[in-house]
Amino acid sequence: MVYLDNSATTKPWTEVLDTFYKAASSYYGNPSSLHHPGLEAETLMQKARESLAFLLHTKPEELVYTSGGTESNNLAIKGIAMKHRDRGQHLVTSTVEHPSVKEAFLELESFGFDVTYVPVDAKGRIDPEEVENAVREDTTLVSIIHVNNEIGTIQPIEEIGRRLARYPKLYFHTDHVQGAAHVPLDLSQSFVDLCTISGHKFHGLKGTGALYMKQGVHLSSLFHGGTQEQAARAGTENVPGIVAMSKALRMSREKQSDDKGRLSSLKEYLMEGLQKIDGAVVNTPIHGSAPHIVNVSFPEMKPEVLVQELTRHSIHVSTKSACSSKLQEPSAVIKAAGLGEKRAASAIRISFSFDTTQEEIDRLLTVLNSNVPEMQKVMGEKK
Residues 106-133 pLDDT 10s: 999 999 999 999 999 999 999 999 999 9
d(CA 50, CA 72): 19
If one compares 323 and 234, the residue with the highest pLDDT of the two is 234
pLDDT value at residue 308: 94
pLDDT value at residue 229: 85
pLDDT value at residue 373: 79
d(CA 233, CA 252): 26
> Is residue 323 scored above 90 in pLDDT?
no
CATH of domain 14-255: 3.40.640.10
On whether the CB atoms of residues 140 and 88 are closer than 8 A, the answer is yes
Provide mean pLDDT across the span 267-283. 96
pLDDT value at residue 291: 97
Domain ranges within the chain, ordered by starting residue: 2-8+260-382, 14-255
Provide mean pLDDT across the span 192-221. 97
d(CA 226, CA 224): 7
d(CA 175, CA 66): 14
pLDDT value at residue 160: 98
pLDDT value at residue 379: 59
Provide mean pLDDT across the span 31-44. 91
Neighbours of 204 (CB within 10 A): 33
> Is residue 375 scored above 80 in pLDDT?
no
If one compares 32 and 327, the residue with the highest pLDDT of the two is 32
pLDDT value at residue 44: 95
> Is residue 325 scored above 60 in pLDDT?
no
Strands 209-213 and 281-282: unpaired
195 is catalytic: no
Average of per-residue pLDDT values in the chain: 94
Q: Which tens digit of pLDDT belongs to each residue from 49-76?
A: 999 999 999 999 999 999 999 999 999 9
CA angle at residue 41 from 243 to 44, to 5 degrees?
45
pTM for the structure as a whole: 0.94
93 residue type, one letter: T
Catalytic residue among 323, 336, 365, 367: 323
Q: In the CATH hierarchy, which top-level class contains the domain 2-8+260-382?
A: alpha beta
